[in-house]
Amino acid sequence: MENVVDQIGELLVRLQSADFYERERAVKELSQRDEDEAVAGLVLALEDRDLGIRELAADHLTRMKGATAAQLLIRFLGHDDIGSRNLASEILVRIGSSAVAELVSNLNDDDHDIRKFIVDTLGLIGDRSAVGPLTASLNDDNVNVVCSAAEALGEIGSGLAVPHLIAAIENSEDARLPAVEALGKIGSPQALPVLSDLLENHDAVLQYAVIEAIGRIGEPDSVGRLAVCLENGEHLIAEAALTAIIRIQARRRGNPDTDLPLDRFLGFLLDGMRNGNPEVTEFMLSRLKAWHTDEVLSGLLGIVDHLNDSTLKQVTDILVDIGMPAGRYVVEKIIDSPSGLKLKLLDVIKAFICDDLVDSLLPLADDADAEVRQKLAHVMGLCGCRRMIPLLKQLARDPIGHVRAAALSAMGWLGDENEVDFLFTGLDDPYPDVREAATGALIIIGTTKVVAKFNADLYHHDMERQRLAVSALGWIGESEVVEPLLNALNHPDAGIRRLAINSLSRLSNVERLEPIVMALNDEDTAVQKAAVTALVALRGTDAVSDIRVLLEDGDVWVRYHTIGAIGELGEERYTDMISPYLNDEMDIIRIAAIKALTQMGSTQVLPDLERMRSEKNVDLAKAADAALSTLGGKRDGTPFDSGR
């Protein structure tokens, strides 16, 4: 076997091969070894002419995380080729804390460029053990190293660096800017006195950085000092001060208690809201209740289509609190806005539309955008103002179906009994959603006239109108609908008869039940079943004497349904009526009987159920098993719960 040195030597030779794949294999094999020579080989591969090889070597070096790799890579920080330098730095950062000791031990390198790269790399690694050595670098002879040291200390964010950074501000004019920025990132209030003094500095760039640092530190006491900067003639400085104040107040999570001259910053704040800046948005929302000049409201309404739903809701709530002045602004703004904004503003105005505002919206009835007209109809309906009926009637004749539907719905919400005839014309509309809207509106109005017209519609030549009429009568649900629905039980269409019975079953004031009892003998089984359900709903156990006849009906599903309806009553006294069906020739009836007897809590059928557990029909056996499980509990003294 060859010795280790020879093996690695061979791999190093292969690293020089002209063949890409040969070099790639060499890198992979080197990465399997842990000898320092192998690591050195990988470092050499960082200079390969092919990017793929360089990245492969870098990847393996990163995973090694060893001191040897760090030591070798540091030499690359002084490489002539900037790409190699950056790659070495990147690998060192990826190696992380394991590279810190090697980097620190090279902080006194003769080459100031290497020192600077080392300092930068330590900052990017962010390991706190580098803070001490980096504070020493604040006194480096080379100004670039000093500045990089300040930046690195800011990145690491240790409070231990604060006195050193303050000293650097006082000792080195060049270091001031990065030191101020670093103090901001560290966020220690200990830095505030020196930063406050620097606010007087006339260097705008430094002043900007100082303001930003004070904002990052976030002490509430700084707001007063920053407020002075709001008057600064330099717009960027003033805006930085406001941003810092906003940041401080966002941290406090409370209402601002300082009176700030904000008018100058309206555009800046609105931009922040429009761009979704959460701190600016929160600040604006906190100020709006007290700060809603014409310019503010106008500007705010101009950006509502950029706000998310949550913010829009909060803005709307504030506008509602402000009341009529805000409402007038919204209305004025809507008229000349583009479509998207109009729709958003119509959503806003919904919250406080009233008699006094609604007239100003009338021009929107002729808006080119159908969605605007549709939303306008909703707003009109919400305002509850009946003098809008003519406008809604105009919209109910709109060429677009959605608009007509919205207008008819809104007329229903207004509940004007005088418009019943007009609403009935909506039932002839070619679009189903318009017909549904007209029906809904008529249901809300629900007067005697509406009932009479729907009653007449039960014999309309159009079958859909007949069905719609019987359903509508049911939804209206007033005492006037009982007779028309009972009469509908003689309707030639079985569907109408069934719907009429379903509607009757929900009413509490049906005194004449004979027509429903008669329907138990209807030629249509669906009608028969509906009659069973309705009689049980209306009469409870008193219905049993009428419906029991259907236990012998010729249709299996009528029998099934009747057994189920009696079971639903949950009365054990009907056990003898239902238990014979445990032996019915049809399994489906036997299953219905099992379920019904379970609902009744009929323990006397337990022996039958026990026997049925061994039935060949799996569904039947399962039903018996489930019933035994439920009824067994009752027999054992546990309170019975049929699950009803």
Helices (H), 428-555: 432-445, 448-457, 463-476, 482-487, 494-506, 514-519, 525-539, 544-547
Taking residues 143 to 162 in sequence order and writing x for each that binds another protein by CB under 8 A, - otherwise, the string is --------------------
Question: In whole angstroms, how close is the CB of 437 to another protein at the nearest point?
Answer: 6
Three-class HEC string of 281-340: HHHHHHHHCCCCCHHHHHHHHCCHHHCCHHHHHHHHHHHHHHCHHHHHHHHHHHHCCCHH
Binding window for another protein (CB under 8 A); candidates: 68-76, 260-268, 379-387, 602-610: 379-387
Residue 95 or 406 having the CB closest to another protein: 406
- Least gap, CB of 515 to another protein (angstroms): 21
Return the range that interacts with another protein (CB under 8 A); candidates 1-9, 121-129, 392-400, 412-420: 412-420
The interface mask with another protein, positions 581-620, x = CB under 8 A, is ----------------------------------------
Q: Are 45 and 15 in contact (CB under 8 A)?
A: yes
Q: For residues 133 and 412, which CB has a smaller minimum distance to another protein in the complex?
A: 412
Rg, Å, the chain Cα set: 42
Residue 632 carries which DSSP code?
A: H
**Residues 221 to 260: which contact another protein by CB under 8 A?**
250
Binding mask 293-322 for another protein (x = CB under 8 A): -----------------x--xx-----x--
**Binding flag, residue 382, another protein (CB under 8 A):** yes
Chain residues 264-293 in contact with another protein, contact rule CB under 8 A: 278-279, 281-282, 285
Sequence-ordered list of residues with C-beta below 8 angstroms from that of 530, at least 6 positions apart, any chain: 497, 498, 501, 502, 505, 519
Burial of 540: CB neighbours in 10 Å, binned 0-12, 13-18, 19+: exposed
Residues 41, 202: Cα–Cα separation, whole Å: 54
Which C-beta is closer to another protein: that of 537 or that of 596?
537
CA-to-CA distance for 433 and 430, rounded, in angstroms?
Answer: 9
Q: Which is nearer to another protein, 229 or 443 (CB)?
A: 443
Binding another protein (rule: CB under 8 A), the pick from 412, 484, 515, 567 is 412
Cα distances from 319 to residues 273, 306, 311, 402, in angstroms, run 16, 17, 12, 29
Chain-centroid distance of CA 334 in Å reads 28
Least distance between another protein and beta carbon 331 (Å): 16
Site string for another protein, 467-506 (x = CB under 8 A): --------xxxx---------------------------x
Residue among 27, 24, 32 at smallest CA distance from 42: 27
Give the residue with the Cβ less far from another protein, 313 or 539: 313
Chain centre to alpha carbon of residue 440: 31
Using left for φ > 0, alpha for ψ between -120 and 50, and beta otherwise, residue 19 falls in beta
By CB under 8 A, name the one of 136, 354, 456, 549 that touches another protein.
354
Residue whose CB is less far from another protein, 503 or 525: 503
Residue 218 near another protein by CB under 8 A = no
- Distance in Å, CB of 596 to another protein, minimum: 24
Question: Considering the complex, what minimum distance in angstroms separates the CB of residue 491 from another protein?
Answer: 22
Least distance from another protein to the Cβ atom of residue 539, Å: 17
- Of 100 and 441, nearer to another protein (C-beta) is 441
Residue 477 Cβ vs another protein, minimum distance, rounded to whole Å: 3
Cβ(72)–Cβ(39) under 8 Å? Answer: yes
Nearer to another protein, 156 or 248 (CB): 248
Give the residue with the Cβ less far from another protein, 477 or 495.
Answer: 477
Closer to another protein by Cβ: residue 264 or 386: 386
Distance separating alpha carbons of residues 160 and 128, to the nearest angstrom: 10
Q: Work out whether the CA dihedral 234, 238, 244, 246 comes out positive or negative.
A: negative
Shortest gap between Cβ of 506 and another protein (angstroms)? 6
Q: How far is the CB of 222 from another protein (least distance, A)?
A: 21
Closest CB 295 distance from another protein, rounded Å: 24
Residue 352, classed as helix, strand or coil, is coil
Residue 255, classed as helix, strand or coil, is coil
Residue 185, amino acid? K
- Closer to another protein by CB, 51 or 320: give it: 320
**Spatial separation of the C-alpha atoms in residues 102 and 114, rounded to whole Å:** 13
We find the least distance from the C-beta atom of residue 476 to another protein, in angstroms, to be 5
Structure tokens that stand for 370 in this block: 């159908």
Token readout for 580 is: 């014979």
Cα 397 from Cα 403, distance rounded (Å): 8
Report residue 351 CA to chain centroid gap: 22
Least distance in angstroms from the C-beta of 217 to another protein: 21
Report the amino acid identity of residue 556: V
Which 503-542 residues touch another protein, going by CB under 8 A?
506, 508
Interface characters, 413-452, with another protein (x: CB under 8 A): x-x--------------------xx-xxx-xxxx------
Full DSSP string of 140-167: -SSHHHHHHHHHHHHHHT-GGGHHHHHH
The correct pick among 66, 126, 299, 384 for binding another protein (CB under 8 A) is 384
CA dist 483 and 451 (Å) reads 10
Query: Largest alpha-carbon pair distance within the chain?
Result: 111
Q: Find the shortest distance in angstroms from Cβ 503 to another protein.
A: 11
Q: How far is the CB of 445 from another protein (least distance, A)?
A: 7
- Residue 378 near another protein by CB under 8 A: yes
Tokens of 569: 């009553």
Pick the closer one to another protein by CB: 133 or 327: 327
Q: Please give the residues from 59 up to 78 whose contact with another protein meets the rule CB under 8 A.
A: none
Closest distance of CB 270 from another protein, Å: 16
Cβ distance to another protein smaller for residue 192 or 285: 285
b or e along 87-103 (b: 16 or more beta carbons within 10 Å of the residue's beta carbon)? bbbebbbbbeebbbebb
Q: What is the size of the binding site for another protein (CB under 8 A)?
A: 36
Nearest distance from C-beta of residue 414 to another protein, angstroms:
9
How far is it, in rounded angstroms, from Cα 55 to Cα 331? 62
Please give the residue ranges that form the binding site for another protein (CB under 8 A).
250, 278-279, 281-282, 285, 310, 313-314, 320, 323, 352, 354, 378, 381-382, 384, 409, 412-413, 415, 436-437, 439-441, 443-446, 475-478, 506, 508
